[in-house]
Amino acid sequence: MGQTITEKIFSEHAGKLVHSGEIIRVDIDMIIGNDITTPISIRAFEESGATQLAKPDSFCIVMDHYIPAKDIASANQAKISREFAYKHDMKYFFDEKDMGIEHALLPEKGLILPGDVVIGADSHTCTHGALGAFSTGMGSTDLAFAMITGDNWFKIPETIKVELTGKPAEHIYGKDIILELIRQIGVDGALYKAIEFTGDALQHLGMADRFSIANMVIEAGAKNGVFPVDDVTRTYLDERAEANGGLRAEPKIHYSDEDAVYCQTISIDISILSPVIAYPFLPSNGKPVEQAVKDNLKIDQVMIGSCTNGRIEDLRIAAKIMKGQRVARHTRMIVTPATQKILLQAQDEGLMKILIEAGAVVSNPTCGACLGGYMGILGDNERCVATTNRNFVGRMGARSSEIYLANSAVAAASAIAGKIVDPRVK
């Protein structure tokens, strides 16, 4: 019986042939913590009596949620991770001096590779499947177990095959593809399953699109999302190797067998998609942008950024639309580059000048606005268009506020208009 990519990754790590449904214990290639979840892992680690990390170079902490600290509580929270990182002389500790949102920063650093098994105490750890890795979110105590032992237990998920066909039209991006998939199958349509993306459309999807798609498979309940390695992946890895003086290790590339067993197959022709807008209060509540235009939805805030859509490609899209334009008087706009490197690149390309002159405020790389922590809280009854990944009740602030998830082109065009508009309509 043939195997999927996910089954092959686990087989390689287990040292034997395994299939979906089996429960196995395997080594972890990279454990990811952040300033919110790591203190819980550290407490469990220390209460166990452990004194050393099992695999120090396979554990990283990224300070990204409340950094710089917003109050005394968040400062003390961050202090726990800092002291632990210094005590254990951690090689991969990223703080304010080299900051970024974890799911953008680690690929940028060449720390996530094809064939890796990656876990993180953050649900959007699934982002890294864009690189052909198995990557999933787990609890903080699961991370502590891996910190102590270097491995963890997994039930190998069944795989849903998603065939993407066609070539995307203007202003159709990875965000629209994943919102369409979630619209079709719902927020629990892939519960504890892998989603493997295939099809001729992959040749038209850059890494930014793939990261966006993999990032949001959790919003359909998936355990992980994964893309096969191709020339797009290889070029990205080559660029990371050149920028960082090499990769962390040699990639281990796996492809699904022709007779691999899938529990479901879904086909999406991306050539006929319109930009998809996820209405409140679920990412599955997707509607074509034409419907949003018809509904005449006035907006108070636009947020471009996050681990979903804060990459240089997103800033280029926004700047191209906003050049020479101005954010509507009753609307405010927040731009959050996903890493410092992206911010500097955007500055070098003149994107920051365009966005700021248009009326946007640019923040440091942080998850703050997305999770409703700081740097962009919504007030009562306010409405926001966001390139983030969740639009639950109260996600970005007041429980009466509304979040409409969209791609970066929709967000930028809507900021200018002061209401949700179709960026394809000039």
Q: What is the mean pLDDT of residues 229-253?
A: 92
Domain 278-417 coded CATH 3.10.129.10: no
pLDDT tier, 246 (very low <50, low <70, confident <90, very high otherwise) = confident
pLDDT tier, 174 (very low <50, low <70, confident <90, very high otherwise) = very high
The pLDDT value given to residue 156: 97
Is the model's pLDDT at 298 over the cut of 90? Answer: yes
Domain 5-268 coded CATH 3.30.870.10: no
Nearest to 356 by CA among 315, 313, 296, 300: 315
What is the percentage of the chain residues whose pLDDT exceeds 90? 96
How many Cβ atoms from other residues are within 10 Å of residue 367's Cβ? Answer: 29
**372 φψ region: left (φ > 0), alpha (ψ -120 to 50), beta (else):** left
Is the model's pLDDT at 184 over the cut of 90? Answer: yes
Residues 6 or more apart in contact with residue 148 via CB below 8 angstroms:
45, 48, 50, 54
Helix (H) or strand (E) holding 294: helix 289-295
- pTM of the predicted structure, to 2 decimals: 0.95
pLDDT tier, 59 (very low <50, low <70, confident <90, very high otherwise) = very high
Helices 174-185 & 207-215, crossing angle to 10 degrees? 30
204-242: string of b/e by CB count within 10 Å (b at 16+)?
Answer: ebebbbbbbbbbbbbbbbbbbbbbbbeebbeebbeebee
What is the percentage of the chain residues whose pLDDT exceeds 70? 100
β-sheet bridge partners, residue 278: 286, 405
Is the model's pLDDT at 311 over the cut of 90? Answer: yes
The pLDDT value given to residue 91: 95
The pLDDT value given to residue 402: 98
Is the model's pLDDT at 168 over the cut of 90? Answer: yes
Q: What is the distance in angstroms between the CA of the first residue and the CA of the last residue of the chain?
A: 53
The pLDDT value given to residue 263: 96
Q: What is the mean pLDDT of residues 238-259?
A: 92
* CA gap 62, 125 in Å, rounded: 12
The pLDDT value given to residue 76: 96
Is the model's pLDDT at 247 over the cut of 90? Answer: no
- Is the preceding omega at residue 392 within 30 degrees of 0, hence cis? no
Residue with tokens 């990182």: 85
Q: What is the mean pLDDT of residues 86-110?
A: 95
Parts of the chain belonging to CATH 3.30.499.10: 5-268, 278-417
pLDDT tier, 93 (very low <50, low <70, confident <90, very high otherwise) = very high
Q: What is the mean pLDDT of residues 7-33?
A: 97
Is the model's pLDDT at 132 over the cut of 90? Answer: yes
Is the model's pLDDT at 426 over the cut of 90? Answer: no
The pLDDT value given to residue 284: 97
Higher-confidence residue of 96 and 130: namely 130
Q: What is the mean pLDDT of residues 391-416?
A: 97
φ and ψ of 268, to 5 deg: -130, 120
Is the model's pLDDT at 249 over the cut of 90? Answer: no
58-77: string of b/e by CB count within 10 Å (b at 16+)?
Answer: bbbbbbbbbbebeeeebeeb
Nearest to 141 by CA among 22, 13, 10, 39: 39
Is the model's pLDDT at 404 over the cut of 90? Answer: yes
pLDDT tier, 245 (very low <50, low <70, confident <90, very high otherwise) = confident
Average pLDDT in the chain: 96
The pLDDT value given to residue 359: 97
- In one letter, which amino acid is 217? V
Nearest to 272 by CA among 344, 363, 167: 167
pLDDT tier, 314 (very low <50, low <70, confident <90, very high otherwise) = very high
The pLDDT value given to residue 87: 96
φ and ψ of 59, to 5 deg: -130, 130
Residue 128 Cα to chain centre, angstroms: 8
Residues 6 or more apart in contact with residue 184 via CB below 8 angstroms:
266, 268
Is the model's pLDDT at 150 over the cut of 90? Answer: yes
The pLDDT value given to residue 30: 97
* Of 155-169, 179-193, 238-252, minimum mean pLDDT range: 238-252
